[in-house]
């Protein structure tokens, strides 16, 4: 199985290379050359077995079945629930899929725990070492810190926007106590952190000399890992019933994983409604057919405060009939003008992908958290509330609705308290983070300062 770039100017690579490099050298995103066929998950199949099968479909010939099984068992042993992504009933035909049973209470753990194992496997096989860098609006950083803490062949550099993430989110990244995890608090917003990481990667020399790699939401291994729970949800709820997923969305990695699960077979029909907050670039893309750059505004669901969803590029590639020249042109144009209409010939296919998007206001998000608490006694996180709010407004259908619960309420205690009057406690298993010392360094919004920081701290 080879992976090709959505911009068509990079050589095809294998699964592990696609995973280790993140972004393709031509600036595009890796996608499988052809979609593998994956058999539906069985109702008695364990999560780790489905995971090994799904990842195996993309990694065939590079990782043998036994090794992959061991990798998946290791990745998910830190989860507090044996089903990894359990379903809980919310209404007669509606469920929440809880994706927050990992070590840092957000769905990012599901992919990141697996990626860390894949990196370990690939790097020790090759006798190499890497510096992994990522920008985070809160949850990715914690998940990466937990997954890579203590890794012998990876140094991790996490950039977060100084004082713009929740204190609990910060605790998960800054208290690992691991010498290979470095936290940089950047004096600007998340987009600025992302821009720094992007320019680090555009410095080919630095990338080569530092063995620099990324684990942001465009990494193919993350998409593959996230496709697994769409398959297990279908198995649990019955393969004869169509499911309608509601996916709280930012960079669209999670929703795209659903699309991938559907492309590879095993889902009875496919519909995913991306639930976005007031940063609604994804709704504009899918419904108005326009790539339009607006700067992100702060909302109660910060992990979804994204100005343009990076994984949309993969969907565009498919909708254009895999026309890499067109994708490259559109993104070049977009980089210059920040405003590009999608050609008519991709709009039709886009509307047939099963994906759509709806936006929820800040005040509706808070009201929704309160309403769900009243109905069920559950405290839900603000991102999940954007999802349940969208689910509530969907037209009647024969489908079973599955809302992805992307984080635990205790990760956003201030917002939950504001909405419901109740401050959620951290689950017992993670309460230790609050007592540990935080380690992070305040760094200016400046690429060369960050580059120097990485150079000085990476192990030779
Ligand atoms: C990252 C994140 C999202 C958005 O996921 P994408 O894959 O970027 O669309 C939603 N909710 C939470 C809690 C997150 O951490």
Q: What is the pLDDT of residue 307?
A: 87
Query: How far apart (Å, rounded) are the C-alpha atoms in residues 8 and 223?
Result: 20
Structure tokens belonging to residue 373: 């608490």
Distance 400 CA to ligand 1 centre (A): 22
Total domains in the chain come to 1
CA 288-343-320 angle, 5° bins: 105
Query: How far apart (Å, rounded) are the C-alpha atoms in residues 256 and 275?
Result: 13
Half-sphere exposure of 415 (CA within 13 A, CB side): 31
Q: Is residue 43 part of a domain?
A: no
Query: How far apart (Å, rounded) are the C-alpha atoms in residues 305 and 282?
Result: 11
If we measure between CA atoms, which residue out of 181, 193, 118 comes closest to residue 146? Answer: 181
Q: What is the CATH number of the domain that holds 311?
A: 3.40.50.1100
Give the SS3 label for residue 86. coil
Query: How far apart (Å, rounded) are the C-alpha atoms in residues 346 and 317?
Result: 9
For helices 253-263 and 220-237, give the axis angle rounded to 10 degrees.
60
Query: How far apart (Å, rounded) are the C-alpha atoms in residues 166 and 154?
Result: 26
Q: Is residue 247 part of a domain?
A: yes
Kindly give the number of the ligand 1 atom that is closest to the alpha carbon of 257. Answer: 7
Query: How far apart (Å, rounded) are the C-alpha atoms in residues 58 and 170?
Result: 33
The residue ranges of the chain whose pLDDT is under 70 are: 266, 460
Kindly give the number of the ligand 1 atom that is closest to the alpha carbon of 139. Answer: 15
Q: What is the pLDDT of residue 61?
A: 86
Q: What is the pLDDT of residue 267?
A: 77
Q: What is the pLDDT of residue 269?
A: 82
If we measure between CA atoms, which residue out of 176, 142, 156 comes closest to residue 438? Answer: 176
Q: Is residue 459 part of a domain?
A: no
Distance 107 CA to ligand 1 centre (A): 7
Distance 58 CA to ligand 1 centre (A): 23
Question: Helix H segments across 22-89?
Answer: 47-59, 65-76
Q: Is residue 456 part of a domain?
A: no
Query: How far apart (Å, rounded) are the C-alpha atoms in residues 293 and 301?
Result: 19
Kindly give the number of the ligand 1 atom that is closest to the alpha carbon of 411. Answer: 13
Report which protein residue has its CA nearest ligand 1's atom 7.
253
As beta bridge partners, residue 183 has: 158
Residues marked as catalytic: 108
Report which protein residue has its CA nearest ligand 1's atom 2.
303
Distance 66 CA to ligand 1 centre (A): 31
**Pocket lining for ligand 1, CB < 6 angstroms:** 106, 108, 139, 217, 248-254, 303-304, 383, 406-407
Q: Is residue 119 part of a domain?
A: no
Distance 250 CA to ligand 1 centre (A): 5
Distance 140 CA to ligand 1 centre (A): 9
Kindly give the number of the ligand 1 atom that is closest to the alpha carbon of 108. Answer: 15
Q: Is residue 412 part of a domain?
A: yes
Structure tokens belonging to residue 331: 């993104």
pLDDT per position as a tens digit, 145-195: 999 999 999 999 999 999 888 889 999 999 999 999 999 999 988 889 988
Report which protein residue has its CA nearest ligand 1's atom 1.
303
Q: Is residue 353 part of a domain?
A: yes
Kindly give the number of the ligand 1 atom that is closest to the alpha carbon of 381. Answer: 13
Out of 303, 380, 381, 407, mutate this one to test ligand 1's pocket (max ligand atoms within 8 Å of CB): namely 303
Q: What is the pLDDT of residue 349?
A: 94
Range of the domain at 275: 87-102+222-420
Contact between residue 3 and residue 13 where contact means Cβ atoms under 8 Å apart: yes
Q: Is residue 339 part of a domain?
A: yes
If we measure between CA atoms, which residue out of 125, 133, 130, 47 comes closest to residue 82? Answer: 47
Out of 286, 406, 408, 410, mutate this one to test ligand 1's pocket (max ligand atoms within 8 Å of CB): namely 406
Q: What is the pLDDT of residue 216?
A: 84
Report which protein residue has its CA nearest ligand 1's atom 14.
303
Distance 279 CA to ligand 1 centre (A): 13
Kindly give the number of the ligand 1 atom that is closest to the alpha carbon of 274. Answer: 9
Contact between residue 257 and residue 30 where contact means Cβ atoms under 8 Å apart: no
Q: What is the pLDDT of residue 460?
A: 62
Reading phi first (left if > 0) and then psi (alpha if -120 to 50, else beta), residue 420 is in: alpha
pTM: 0.96
Half-sphere exposure of 265 (CA within 13 A, CB side): 11
217-239 exposure pattern, b = at least 16 Cβ within 10 A, e = fewer: bbbbbbbbbbbbbbbbbbbbbee
Query: How far apart (Å, rounded) are the C-alpha atoms in residues 9 and 27?
Result: 9
Kindly give the number of the ligand 1 atom that is closest to the alpha carbon of 256. Answer: 7
Out of 138, 165, 218, 250, mutate this one to test ligand 1's pocket (max ligand atoms within 8 Å of CB): namely 250
Distance 127 CA to ligand 1 centre (A): 33
CA 312-305-412 angle, 5° bins: 130
Distance 249 CA to ligand 1 centre (A): 6
Q: What is the pLDDT of residue 261?
A: 96
As beta bridge partners, residue 134 has: 158
Out of 97, 112, 139, mutate this one to test ligand 1's pocket (max ligand atoms within 8 Å of CB): namely 139
Structure tokens belonging to residue 128: 């190499």
């Amino acid at each position: 199985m080879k992976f090709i770039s959505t911009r068509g100017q990079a050589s095809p690579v294998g699964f592990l290379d696609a995973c280790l490099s993140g972004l393709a050298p031509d600036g595009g995103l890796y996608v499988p050359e052809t979609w593998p066929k994956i058999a539906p998950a069985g109702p008695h199949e364990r999560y780790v077995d489905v995971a090994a099968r799904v990842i195996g479909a993309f990694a065939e010939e590079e990782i043998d079945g036994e090794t992959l099984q061991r990798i998946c068992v290791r990745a998910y042993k830190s989860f507090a629930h044996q089903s990894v992504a359990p379903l809980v009933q919310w209404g007669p035909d509606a469920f929440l899929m809880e994706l927050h049973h990992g070590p840092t209470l957000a769905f990012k753990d599901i992919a990141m725990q697996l990626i860390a194992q894949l990196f370990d496997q690939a790097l020790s096989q090759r006798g190499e070492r890497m510096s992994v860098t990522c920008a985070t609006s809160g949850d990715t950083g914690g998940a990466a810190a937990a997954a890579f803490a203590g890794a012998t062949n990876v140094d991790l550099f996490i950039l977060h926007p100084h004082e713009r993430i929740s204190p609990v989110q910060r605790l998960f990244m800054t208290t690992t106590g691991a010498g290979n995890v470095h936290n940089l608090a950047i004096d600007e917003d998340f987009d600025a952190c992302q821009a720094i990481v992007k320019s680090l990667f555009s410095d080919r020399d630095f990338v080569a000399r530092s063995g620099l790699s990324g684990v942001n939401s465009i990494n193919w291994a993350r998409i593959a890992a996230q496709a697994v729970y769409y398959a297990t949800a279908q198995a649990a709820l019955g393969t004869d019933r169509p499911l309608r997923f509601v996916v709280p969305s930012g960079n669209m990695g999670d929703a795209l994983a659903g699309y991938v699960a559907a492309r590879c077979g095993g889902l009875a029909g496919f519909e995913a409604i991306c639930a976005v907050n007031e940063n609604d670039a994804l709704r504009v893309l899918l419904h108005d057919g326009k790539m339009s750059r607006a700067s992100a505004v702060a909302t109660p669901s910060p992990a979804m405060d994204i100005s343009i969803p990076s994984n949309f590029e993969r969907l565009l590639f498919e909708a254009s009939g895999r026309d890499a020249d067109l994708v490259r042109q559109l993104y070049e144009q977009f980089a210059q003008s920040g405003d590009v209409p999608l050609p008519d010939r991709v709009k039709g296919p886009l509307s047939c992908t099963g994906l759509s998007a709806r936006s929820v206001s800040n005040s509706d998000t808070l009201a929704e958290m309160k309403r769900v608490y009243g109905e069920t006694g559950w405290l839900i996180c603000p991102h999940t509330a954007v999802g349940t709010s969208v689910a509530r407004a969907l037209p009647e259908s024969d489908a079973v609705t599955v809302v992805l619960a992307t984080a635990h309420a205790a990760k956003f205690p201030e917002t939950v308290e504001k909405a419901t009057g109740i401050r959620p406690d951290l689950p017992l298993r993670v309460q230790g983070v609050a007592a540990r010392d935080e380690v992070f360094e305040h760094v200016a919004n400046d690429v060369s300062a960050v580059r120097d920081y990485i150079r000085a701290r990476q192990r030779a």
